[in-house]
């Protein structure tokens, strides 16, 4: 069950479209730390502002299961959410990721919407949420917010296509490097806390495969991996070992930011 946290003291923000909109302190984050919300014209953001709730969640928490109706729409400030396709036998594999550049559940703004994926907190996250009911009212009154829903849904679909191709065509070493780079970008750090079990599920491989790949890359001096903590020691080398999908996904993640 999600528990709401008290907001931290407000401060002034110098965001491009926010001028004098107060947001929460840096440690907790605020609505305008999300690039989609900060891109909205001031009058359009004001349609959402009275209904926004700021929270944070720990790593590994399941935000929604496939088949659940979206009661809220989520705009991350920092951290990372993974969208997982769930098979009938219970196995799951990542199809897309969402950080501060995106939104989860936005299509609820166009009508009742059930999730087609499991959404998991991959990296501890701060976010702003708004009830689907209030979001639908705002979408009905704003072409800008409606366009945001449609455009970012296209970004997620494109991510899913690239990820599907990557999973089918590229070897696990390249995929591991691509995924680690994505995670480090969202964490804003060269250190990422990820267990072998979690990595195995994200990549759709066995736990032993993750261990073998991590050990191999570590032997090259590119990373250090110990007890679920990965330290990137040589990022340029890691980028060279990754497939081209890392840059493709990076480009798409900022397509409408």
Same domain (yes/no): 189, 151: no
Higher pLDDT, 87 or 141: 141
- Domain membership of residue 2 (yes or no) is no
Cβ atoms 98, 153 nearer than 8 A: no
Q: Is the overall model pTM greater than 0.85, yes or no?
A: no
Domain hosting 182: range is 170-253
Does residue 37 contact residue 75 with C-beta atoms inside 8 Å?
yes
Closest to 117 (Cα-Cα) out of 148, 137, 87, 153: 87
Do residues 56 and 5 make contact, with C-beta atoms less than 8 angstroms apart? yes
* Tokens representing residue 157 in the block: 């679909």
Distance CA 81, CA 43 (A): 28
pLDDT greater than 70 at residue 24: no
- Report yes or no on 5 lying in a domain: no
230: CATH: 1.10.10.10
Is residue 7 scored above 60 in pLDDT? no
pLDDT digits (tens, 9 = 90+) for 56-69: 999 889 999 999 99
Q: Which residues have a Cβ under 8 Å from the Cβ of 251 and sit 6 or more positions away?
A: none
CATH number for the domain that contains residue 137: 2.60.120.10
Q: How many domains does the chain have?
A: 2
How far is Cα 27 from Cα 24, in angstroms, rounded to an integer?
Answer: 8
Question: How many C-beta atoms surround the C-beta of residue 82 within 10 A?
Answer: 25
14: confidence class by pLDDT, cuts 50, 70, 90: very low
Chain-centroid distance of CA 223 in Å reads 23
Q: How confident is the model at residue 11 (pLDDT cuts 50, 70, 90)?
A: very low
Shared domain check, 225 and 112: no
Residues 78 and 149 in one domain: yes
Does 139 lie in the same domain as 19? yes
Residue-level pLDDT at 2: 37
Residue 251 has pLDDT above 90, yes or no: no
Pick the last residue of a domain from 91, 123, 156.
156
Q: Tell whether the model's pLDDT for residue 87 goes beyond 90.
A: no
The pLDDT of residue 230 is above 60: yes
């Amino acid at each position: 069950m999600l528990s709401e946290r008290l907001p931290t003291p407000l401060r002034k923000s110098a965001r491009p479209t926010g001028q004098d909109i107060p947001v929460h302190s840096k440690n907790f984050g605020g609505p305008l730390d999300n690039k989609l919300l900060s891109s909205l014209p001031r009058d359009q953001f004001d349609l959402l502002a009275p209904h926004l709730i700021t929270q944070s969640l720990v790593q590994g928490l399941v935000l929604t299961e496939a088949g659940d109706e979206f009661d809220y729409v989520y705009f991350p400030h920092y951290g990372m959410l993974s969208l997982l396709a769930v098979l009938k036998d219970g196995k799951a594999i990542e199809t897309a990721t969402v950080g501060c550049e995106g939104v989860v559940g936005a299509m609820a703004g166009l009508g009742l919407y059930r999730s087609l994926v499991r959404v998991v907190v991959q990296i501890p996250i701060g976010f702003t949420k708004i009830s689907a009911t209030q979001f639908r009212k705002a979408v009905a009154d704003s072409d800008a917010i409606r366009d945001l829903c449609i455009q970012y849904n296209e970004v997620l679909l494109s991510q899913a296509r690239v990820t599907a191709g990557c999973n089918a065509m590229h070897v696990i070493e390249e995929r591991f490097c691509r995924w680690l780079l994505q995670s480090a970008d969202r964490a804003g750090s060269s250190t990422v806390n990820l267990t072998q079990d979690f990595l195995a599920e994200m990549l759709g491989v066995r736990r032993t495969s993750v261990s073998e790949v991590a050990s191999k890359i570590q032997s090259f001096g590119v990373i250090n991996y110990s007890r679920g903590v990965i330290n990137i020691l040589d990022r340029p080398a890691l980028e060279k070992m990754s497939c081209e999908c890392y840059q493709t996904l990076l480009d798409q993640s900022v397509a409408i930011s």
